[in-house]
C-alpha cells in the first residue's frame, strides 16, 4: 500500500515497486507553496497515492509525477537512470575485453538482482545518486536481502555487491557524476556506506595424515585428481581441462603449462588473470601419475575426464565424489554414526555425507574441507618447506602479491610453540627460586 507522510515542507507519497518489500522504494514529495494552505497540496499527494495503487504499485515516481502535475524531475537531457546505466556499463566492459565473459555475467547478475531493484529509477546525477542513498541501499540489503533459500545475505555478499556497484558508478565519473557516491571520502578512515565488517578467511589447511585419510577414501574416479591437485595447487577449473599437450613430464624442469580454465558457465576460456598463465613445476611422483594418464590419449583429450567421458560438472564432482570421501574419513570404526532406519521394503539407504561420527578418536578427520582447500593445503606445505611469498604467488597464479599475503600471510608468521616453551621454562625457574 502507498502511504502519505506529512513533512516539514509538505507531503511525501511512498511506495515500493510491485508493492513488495524487495521492490525499489519510491518517494514523491509535494511542497506547499509559501503563503498557501496545505489543502491543494494534500489533494495532489492523494491523487499520486491513488494512481500508484491503481497500477498495483508498478509505476515509478517520475511517471506518477508526470501524470499528476505534468512535469518531470530535474535531470539533464540524455542522463540515464541507474537501470539504463547498468546496461551501458556492462556493454562497455564487454567491448573492452578486460573482464572475462563469465565474470561479467556475475557482475550483471549482482547489479540487476541486488542494486537495480533499489536504485534503478534514480537518475545518475549528483543530486539523486548520493552517498546517503548508497548507505540506505546497503542497509536495505542487510535488513531485507535474502538468498534463494531465505537466509540473510552474508556480509561478504553485501561487500561484493558494493564493490561491483563502486565500479559501475565510478565509470559514470565525470560524464554524469562529479564523484563516485560509493567511494570512501578522501582521508576518511571509515567507509560511510555502513558496510558490514569483512569476515576473516577460514580456509582449511589439512595435515598430512588428514589428507592421507581422505585420499584413501576417494573413489577411483577422483583419486589421481586429488593426488595431483594437492601437489600442484591448481584451481579446480584449471586441472579439469588439462590435456597431454599441457604436460612436460621430463627434462630439467618437468612442469604443467596452465593456459586454460573451466568457467562458471561451463565454457573453457583463459585462466583467471594474466598471472594465472604460468608453468607449474611438478615432482617426479606427479610426473609419473600424469604420464600414466597420458598413455593412449591424443594430444587434445582430457587427462581427468568425468567417469562417462567429457568434462566434469564441478558440482557433481563435489557432491558425488569429494564430499563422500570426506564423510567416510570422518567416521570412526569404533564409534560409527547410527544407521538409518530400515524400511519395510527394500534396502537400507546409504549414509548421507552429514551422518558422521562425533567422537574425538585419533585418526578420524574432524574437519570438513572443500575441494578448494587442497589448494590452500598445497600453499601451507610450500610455506612449511621455506618458500617465499613471492614464489608462492607466482606458483599459484595470484594476480598480485597482496592477494597472496591477504590469504596466506599468517602462515609466514610461524609457530609460537617454541616461544611458549621458553615462557614456560621461565615460569618454572621462578617457581623453583621461590621454593
Residues present in the chain in total: 435
Do residues 87 and 43 both lie within one domain?
no
- The pLDDT of residue 236: 96
Do residues 109 and 25 both lie within one domain?
no
Do residues 46 and 156 both lie within one domain?
no
Domain limits for position 239:
208-337+352-373
- The pLDDT of residue 13: 92
Q: Which of 206, 255, 229 is closest to 317 using CA atoms?
A: 229
Mean pLDDT of 18-45: 84
pLDDT at 332 over 90: yes
Do residues 101 and 151 both lie within one domain?
yes
pLDDT at 417 over 70: no
Whether residue 305 is contained in a domain is answered as: yes
Whether residue 323 is contained in a domain is answered as: yes
Query: Is the Cα torsion angle 375, 380, 386, 389 positive or negative in sign?
Result: positive
pLDDT at 27 over 90: no
The neighbouring-strand residues paired with 350 are none
- Give the residue from 144, 170, 196 where a domain finishes: 170
Cell numbers found for residue 18: 510491485
The DSSP bridge pattern shows strands 261-262 and 268-269 to be antiparallel
Q: What angle do CA 398, 191, 144 make, to 5 degrees?
A: 90
Do residues 15 and 101 both lie within one domain?
no
Whether residue 424 is contained in a domain is answered as: no
Whether residue 191 is contained in a domain is answered as: no
Count up the domains in the chain and report the number. 3
Do residues 58 and 102 both lie within one domain?
no
Whether residue 188 is contained in a domain is answered as: no
User: Is the pTM value of this prediction over 0.75?
Assistant: no
Do residues 127 and 57 both lie within one domain?
no
- Give the residue from 69, 91, 121 where a domain finishes: 69
Mean pLDDT of 119-128: 87
pLDDT band at 178 (very low <50, low <70, confident <90, very high): very high
Do residues 244 and 290 both lie within one domain?
yes
Do residues 222 and 368 both lie within one domain?
yes
Do residues 42 and 95 both lie within one domain?
no
Do residues 159 and 295 both lie within one domain?
no
- The pLDDT of residue 147: 80
Alpha-carbon span 225 to 68, nearest angstrom? 66
CATH of the domain at 311: 1.10.443
Do residues 151 and 212 both lie within one domain?
no
Rg from Cα positions in the chain = 29
Amino acid at each position: 500500500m502507498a502511504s502519505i507522510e506529512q513533512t516539514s515542507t509538505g507531503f511525501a507519497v511512498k511506495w515500493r515497486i510491485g508493492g513488495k518489500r524487495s521492490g525499489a522504494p519510491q518517494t514523491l514529495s509535494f511542497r506547499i507553496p509559501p503563503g498557501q494552505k496545505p489543502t491543494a497540496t494534500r489533494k495532489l499527494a492523494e491523487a499520486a497515492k491513488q494512481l500508484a495503487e491503481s497500477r498495483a504499485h508498478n509505476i515509478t515516481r517520475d511517471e506518477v509525477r508526470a501524470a499528476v502535475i505534468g512535469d518531470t524531475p530535474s535531470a539533464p537531457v540524455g542522463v540515464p537512470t541507474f537501470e539504463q546505466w547498468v546496461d551501458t556499463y556492462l556493454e562497455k566492459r564487454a567491448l573492452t575485453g578486460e573482464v572475462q565473459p563469465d565474470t561479467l555475467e556475475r557482475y550483471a547478475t549482482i547489479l540487476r538482482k541486488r542494486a537495480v531493484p533499489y536504485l534503478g529509477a534514480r537518475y545518475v546525477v549528483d543530486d539523486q545518486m548520493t552517498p546517503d542513498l548508497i548507505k540506505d541501499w546497503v542497509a536495505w540489503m542487510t535488513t531485507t536481502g535474502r538468498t534463494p533459500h531465505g537466509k540473510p545475505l552474508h556480509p561478504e555478499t553485501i561487500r561484493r555487491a558494493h564493490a561491483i556497484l563502486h565500479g559501475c558508478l565510478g565509470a559514470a565519473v565525470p560524464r554524469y557524476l562529479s564523484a563516485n557516491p560509493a567511494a570512501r571520502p578522501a582521508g576518511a578512515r571509515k567507509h560511510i556506506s555502513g558496510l558490514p565488517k569483512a569476515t576473516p578467511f577460514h580456509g582449511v589447511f589439512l595435515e598430512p595424515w588428514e589428507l592421507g585419510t581422505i585420499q584413501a577414501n576417494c573413489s577411483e574416479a577422483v583419486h589421481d585428481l586429488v593426488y595431483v591437485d594437492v601437489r600442484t595447487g591448481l584451481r579446480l577449473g584449471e586441472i579439469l581441462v588439462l590435456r597431454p599437450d599441457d604436460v612436460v613430464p621430463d627434462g630439467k624442469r618437468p612442469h604443467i603449462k596452465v593456459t586454460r580454465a573451466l568457467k562458471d558457465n561451463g565454457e573453457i576460456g583463459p585462466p583467471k588473470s594474466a598471472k594465472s598463465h604460468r608453468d607449474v613445476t611438478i615432482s617426479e611422483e606427479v610426473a609419473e601419475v600424469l604420464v600414466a594418464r597420458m598413455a593412449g590419449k591424443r594430444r587434445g583429450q582430457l587427462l581427468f575426464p568425468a567417469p562417462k567421458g567429457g568434462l566434469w560438472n564441478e558440482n557433481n564432482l563435489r557432491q558425488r565424489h569429494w564430499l563422500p570421501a570426506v564423510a567416510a574419513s570422518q567416521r570412526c570404526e569404533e564409534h560409527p554414526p547410527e544407521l538409518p532406519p530400515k524400511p519395510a521394503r527394500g534396502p537400507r539407504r546409504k549414509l548421507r555425507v552429514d551422518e558422521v561420527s562425533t567422537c574425538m578418536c585419533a585418526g578420524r578427520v574432524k574437519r570438513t574441507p572443500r575441494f578448494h582447500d587442497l589448494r590452500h593445503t598445497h600453499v601451507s606445505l610450500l610455506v612449511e618447506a621455506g618458500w617465499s611469498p613471492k614464489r608462492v604467488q607466482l606458483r599459484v597464479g595470484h594476480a598480485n602479491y597482496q592477494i597472496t599475503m591477504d590469504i596466506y600471510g599468517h602462515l609466514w608468521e610461524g609457530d609460537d610453540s617454541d616461544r611458549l616453551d621458553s615462557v614456560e621454562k621461565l615460569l618454572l625457574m621462578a617457581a623453583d627460586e621461590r621454593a
